[in-house]
Amino acid sequence: MDFTLSTEEREVRDWVRTFVQRELMPMEPEVLRRERAGQPGVTEEELRALQLKAKESGFWGVQTPEEYGGMGLSAVMTALLEAELGKTFVPFRFGGYADNILFYANEEQKQNYLLPTIAGEKRSCFAITEPGAGSDAKAIRTSARKDGGDWIINGEKTFITGGNEADFVMVFAVTDPEKGANGGVTCFLVDREMGWKSEYIDTMGEWGPAALIFEDVRVPESQILGEEGQGFNLAMQWIGRGRYLLPARAIGSCERLLSMAIEQANNRVTFGQPIADRQAIQWMIADSGVELEALRWLVLHAAWQVDQGMDSRHAQSMAKLYGGQKANEIVDRVLQIHGGMGYTRELPVERWYRELRLLRIYEGTDEIQRRTIARNLLKGHAKVTGILG
C-alpha cells in the first residue's frame, strides 16, 4: 500500500493550502463579526471574486469533467482539497460545479441548466426532504398531476440547502402513487419564475436552509429530468454522490482545532505549570490525535473505492458516521481545554462547535448510517474483514 502523493497531486493540494491561508483565513474576523450581526459571512460578490481568483490558477470545477471545462480530479484528490478548505470556517467552495444528476439532462436542458450552472450564471438546489419525509425519502408527499401537456406540482420541501438563493430547483414529486418510489417519483427542473417560493429557516449554525412551497406550480413536460417515474433513482445517485466529502471537510476542521488545543495547552499555565503537563489534558490531545488519523483513513479509503469504480456506499457510511461523531467529540474537548474562553464568542471554537453538530444530521443521520452499516453486515453485503478479506 503506497500512500505517497504524486508530485502533481502534492502541488495541487499545496496550492489549495496556500489559498486557504492567504485568501480565506484573513477573512475570519470579519466573517465572525458579520455572522454575529445577523449578516451573511461572505457576500455573493465576495464568493464570486474568490472563485474567479482561484480560476485564474486553474481551479474551476474540481470534479467537473474536463469536457465541460472542469479539472476532473479524482475522488481522493477532491477529499484532500475538502480537508484543506475545512481548516477555515469561511464558507468557500470552488466554482464550476454542477450537481451530478444534471449531467443526465437532455441537450436542451444542458444548454438551459447544466452549462449555465457550471459557468456560475445560475444556481441550483436539490429538493427531496419534506416535513414528514427526512431520512425516509420514500415517504415524500409532494405531488405532480398531469394537466394536458403540463404537470401541476403541489407540496412543501424543507431544509433545502441553497434554496433561498437558487434560480431553479431539482424537485422530486409523486407522479404515480400506485407505483410508489420505484417508478412513481419524477424529478422536475423548475425555475423560480414558474411560481415556487422559498422561506428562510433559522438554525443554531450559520447554515441557512430553506422551505420551498409549491402551490399549483405549472411545469411543462419538457422540464422532466431523466425519465418519468425514475426520479427516486436519480435522488439516490445525488445523495450517494460523495457522502465522504462531508467528513473530509471535517478532517481539516479537526486539524485546525487540535492545533489550537495544543497551542493552548502549551501556553496556558495553572499552579505554576502549563496544562500540557496535566494527564487529563494529555489524554484529550492523544484521543483526538488518534481519532483524527482514523477519520483521515476512513475518508480516503471511501474515496479510493470511488476512484476504483467500486460500490463505496458502505465505506462512505462508515466515514460519515465516524466523522460526525468524532468531529463533535474533538471540538468539545478543544472547547474544554480552552476553558471559559472557549465558551465565549471571542474565540471561533463555539462557531465550529455549532457547525460540526450538523454533520451528525445532514445528508443522513447517525442513526441512518448505523442502520445502513448494520444491514450491510447482517445481510452479507459487506464483510467484517473489509477490503483485505
Smallest Cα–Cα separation from 359: which of 251, 232, 202, 201? Answer: 251
Rounded to whole angstroms, how far apart are CA atoms 237 and 230?
Answer: 11
* Neighbouring-strand partners of residue 210: 160, 200
Q: Are 172 and 140 in contact (CB under 8 A)?
A: yes
Catalytic one of 193, 221, 363, 367: 363
Q: Are 142 and 202 in contact (CB under 8 A)?
A: no
Residue 2's SS3 state is: coil
Q: Is 363 one of the annotated active-site residues of the chain?
A: yes
Burial class (CB in 10 A: 0-12, 13-18, 19+), 240: middle
Q: Per DSSP, which regions of the chain are E strands? A: 124-127, 143-147, 150-160, 168-174, 185-191, 197-200, 210-220, 224-225, 269-270, 273-274
In sequence order, which residues have a C-beta less than 8 Å from that of residue 63 and are 6 or more positions away?
Answer: 70, 71, 72, 73, 75, 78, 97, 242
Provide the annotated active-site residues.
Answer: 363
